């Protein structure tokens, strides 16, 4: 008589008691129910929890935390009341030192499990000196559908402000906004500005934008600050151009916050959810801010991409610089950078793939006689050329185009064969054609900077037949989140 297979303990909608044993990638805790790996947000190794299965796949499931039955010894009280609901942070419930260990383990796991490397020792993560208030840019969203807390839903009291919210999107809900009552990611003045804008909008009945109906006026509030110059930008993104509304609001804000150096009104009257608009009006100040990384200075316009953590950007760039052989030639982070750029000290050609606006290209420019940056976005390339001119770096060149198309033999023939390739691709990693071209060119060294160590490990494995991995160095650019940057240094194997 055949014995029946026992029913699976994992079924969508079923409640389980689970012991969390591991910190998984993306800030989730991992436990096991029978043969299933179960991932649960807002948990930590050592937690015993009650969960409800909300997604089931062939070999794993995801659960929603209902109750912490026995808290982990690692648990601490989050600094922010929104931790666990807001999508801005994922690891506030454990000490920062523990978070760094989790991130180091994740990078090592990716190189071992995805890359197939068994003999690589991942370096300890370079942590941030301050795990809070580190962001130089925050983008908040207005909405007329505020996310209600469990207490509000269960309460019999009327909710008076449910039709206005200013804060962050709830994860997985583009149409629901968590109305922030505190935030500890950017300089504290950022949240005070948010509060002032919200109070002014409510008092003057300025309607938030409704993405379904394409109605309402206020869409986004973007605040950018410079760590080293003190510049502060407020950018109000609106569904239409109405100076009679924006000018009084600008005057109001400047009266409260004299530290604001520029105010922008970005007009996005399309249905696009992007905070970039069709055009911008400068309401106050020059319309941009300035920042330094090392001895190089940069103009940051409203739509300019710039590393979100200024202090850790320099730490990241210094890892790359060290891999090239020197870090002593750069001035301190507070340098004005207004003099002549240092002369190149190395007789090498360096390519910077996916170079963005050229911040890393310029930071490394003393280490090569020629720097060639390649980037797909036309506006970024224009800004990279401007940055090179501003910093008087004459031996940096920038080309625009899709990497798999423009990074070819013709380009190499024009600029010369690179001795070093630095690559910092998007999260998806490099296209196979780009990897093939790198192997064909065969530079002496490759420095692979990544915001996704999973795809970094995959790409590095494809290079492993020609290159050996010298070092993998994680750098924490985004404390209290699961995101981690890492730098892999590869050297060509002897023939």
- Sheet arrangement for strand 349-353: 396-400, 370-375, 349-353, 420-423, 445-450, 485-492, 467-475
290-247-191 Cα angle (round to 5):
55
H/E run at residue 390: helix 378-390
Average pLDDT over residues 468-478: 97
Distance CA 465, CA 459 (A): 12
Name the token pair of 266: 């970005």
What pLDDT is stored for residue 5 in this prediction? 54
DSSP 257: -
What pLDDT is stored for residue 336 in this prediction? 42
Q: Is the predicted pLDDT of residue 160 greater than 70, yes or no?
A: no
Identify the weakest region by mean pLDDT among 1-15, 137-151, 187-201, 433-447. Answer: 1-15
Distance CA 21, CA 43 (A): 10
Distance CA 474, CA 460 (A): 15
Distance CA 478, CA 471 (A): 21
Taking the C-alpha atoms of 298, 489, 424 and 312 in order, what is their torsion angle to the nearest 10 degrees? -40
Number of other CB atoms surrounding residue 183 within 10 Å: 22
Express each pLDDT in 274-293 by its tens digit.
Answer: 889 999 999 999 999 999 99
Q: Which residues contact 143 (CB under 8 A, 6 or more apart)?
A: 164, 165, 166, 175, 176, 177, 208, 209, 210, 211
pLDDT band with cut points at 50, 70 and 90 for residue 313 = very high
pLDDT band with cut points at 50, 70 and 90 for residue 111 = very high
Distance CA 58, CA 416 (A): 50
Distance CA 298, CA 231 (A): 12
Q: Which residues contact 387 (CB under 8 A, 6 or more apart)?
A: 296, 298, 299, 357, 358, 359, 362
pLDDT band with cut points at 50, 70 and 90 for residue 466 = very high
Are 366 and 438 a contacting pair, CB within 8 Å?
Answer: no
Distance CA 35, CA 8 (A): 9
What pLDDT is stored for residue 327 in this prediction? 42
Are 374 and 352 a contacting pair, CB within 8 Å?
Answer: yes
pLDDT band with cut points at 50, 70 and 90 for residue 2 = low
Express each pLDDT in 427-445 by its tens digit.
Answer: 999 999 999 999 999 999 9
Distance CA 234, CA 190 (A): 9
Q: Is the predicted pLDDT of residue 168 greater than 80, yes or no?
A: yes
Distance CA 165, CA 256 (A): 21
Are 239 and 214 a contacting pair, CB within 8 Å?
Answer: yes
What pLDDT is stored for residue 159 in this prediction? 64
Express each pLDDT in 396-421 by its tens digit.
Answer: 999 999 999 999 999 999 999 999 99
Is 451 catalytic? The answer is: yes
What pLDDT is stored for residue 347 in this prediction? 86
Average pLDDT over residues 58-62: 89
What pLDDT is stored for residue 56 in this prediction? 87
Q: Is the predicted pLDDT of residue 153 greater than 80, yes or no?
A: no
139-144-149 Cα angle (round to 5):
85
Distance CA 382, CA 375 (A): 10
Quick one: what percent of the chain has pLDDT higher than 70?
91
Task: Report which of 494, 482, 489 is spatially closest to residue 89, judged by C-alpha positions.
Answer: 482
Express each pLDDT in 67-91 by its tens digit.
Answer: 999 999 999 999 999 998 887 899 9
Q: Domains of the chain (ranges plus CATH)? A: 1-75 (2.40.50.140), 101-131+309-492 (3.40.50.150), 137-293 (2.40.50.1070)
Q: Is the predicted pLDDT of residue 152 greater than 70, yes or no?
A: no
pLDDT band with cut points at 50, 70 and 90 for residue 162 = confident
pLDDT band with cut points at 50, 70 and 90 for residue 333 = very low
Q: What is the DSSP string of 67-110?
A: EEEE--TT----SSTTTTTSSS-S-TTS-HHHHHHHHHHHHHHI
Which three-class secondary structure state does DSSP give residue 64? strand
Average pLDDT over residues 341-367: 88
214-215-221 Cα angle (round to 5):
95
Express each pLDDT in 11-42 by its tens digit.
Answer: 888 999 999 999 998 889 999 998 889 999 99
H/E run at residue 446: strand 445-450
Distance CA 20, CA 40 (A): 8
What pLDDT is stored for residue 36 in this prediction? 87
Instruction: Point out the catalytic residue in the list 80, 355, 451, 466.
Output: 451
Distance CA 28, CA 62 (A): 10
Please tell me the pTM assigned to this model: 0.91
Distance from first CA to last CA of the chain, Å, rounded?
Answer: 64
What pLDDT is stored for residue 325 in this prediction? 84
Distance CA 83, CA 454 (A): 26
Average pLDDT over residues 101-125: 94
């Amino acid at each position: 008589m055949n014995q029946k297979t026992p029913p699976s303990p994992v079924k969508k909608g079923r409640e389980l008691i689970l012991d969390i044993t591991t910190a998984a990638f993306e800030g989730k805790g991992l436990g096991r129910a029978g043969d299933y790996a179960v991932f649960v947000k807002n948990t930590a190794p050592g937690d015993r929890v009650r969960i409800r299965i909300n997604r089931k796949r062939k070999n794993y499931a995801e659960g929603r935390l209902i109750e912490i039955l026995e808290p982990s010894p690692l648990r601490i009280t989050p600094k922010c009341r929104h931790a666990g609901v807001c999508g801005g942070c994922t690891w506030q419930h454990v000490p920062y030192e523990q978070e760094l260990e989790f991130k180091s383990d994740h990078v090592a796991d990716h190189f071992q499990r995805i890359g197939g490397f068994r003999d690589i020792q991942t370096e300890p993560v370079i942590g941030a000196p301050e795990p809070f208030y580190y962001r130089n840019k925050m983008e908040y969203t207005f909405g007329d559908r505020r996310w209600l807390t469990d207490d509000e839903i269960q309460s019999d009291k009327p909710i008076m402000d449910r039709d206005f919210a200013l804060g962050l999107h709830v994860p997985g809900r583009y149409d629901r906004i968590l109305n922030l009552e505190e935030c500890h990611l950017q300089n504290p003045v950022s949240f005070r500005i948010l509060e002032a804008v919200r109070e002014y909008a409510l008092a003057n009945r300025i309607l938030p934008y409704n993405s379904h109906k394409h109605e309402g006026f206020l869409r986004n509030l973007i605040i950018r600050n410079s760590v080293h110059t003190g510049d502060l930008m407020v950018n109000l993104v609106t569904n239409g151009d109405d100076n009679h509304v924006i000018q009084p609001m600008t005057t109001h804000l400047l009266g409260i916050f004299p530290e604001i150096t520029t105010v922008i009104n970005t007009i996005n009257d399309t249905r696009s959810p992007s905070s970039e608009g069709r055009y911008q009006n400068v309401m106050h100040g020059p319309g941009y801010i300035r920042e330094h990384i090392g001895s190089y200075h940069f103009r940051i316009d409203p739509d300019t991409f710039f590393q979100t953590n200024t202090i850790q950007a320099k730490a990241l760039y210094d890892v790359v610089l060290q891999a090239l052989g020197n870090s002593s030639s750069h001035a301190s982070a507070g340098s004005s950078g207004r003099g002549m750029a240092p002369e190149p000290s190395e007789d090498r050609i360096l390519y910077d793939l996916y170079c963005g606006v050229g911040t890393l290209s310029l930071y490394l420019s003393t280490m090569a006689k020629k720097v060639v940056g390649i980037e797909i976005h036309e506006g970024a390339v224009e800004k990279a050329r401007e940055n090179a001119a501003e910093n008087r770096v004459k031996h940096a060149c920038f080309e625009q185009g899709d990497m798999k198309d423009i990074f070819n033999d013709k380009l190499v023939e024009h600029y010369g064969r690179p001795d070093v390739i630095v690559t910092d691709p998007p999260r998806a990693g490099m296209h196979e054609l780009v990897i093939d071209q790198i192997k064909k060119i065969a530079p002496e060294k490759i420095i692979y900077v990544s915001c996704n160590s999973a795809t970094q490990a995959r790409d590095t494995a494809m290079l492993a037949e020609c290159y050996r991995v010298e070092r993998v160095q994680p750098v924490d650019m985004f404390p209290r989140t699961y995101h981690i940057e890492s730098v892999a240094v590869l050297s060509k194997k002897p023939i």
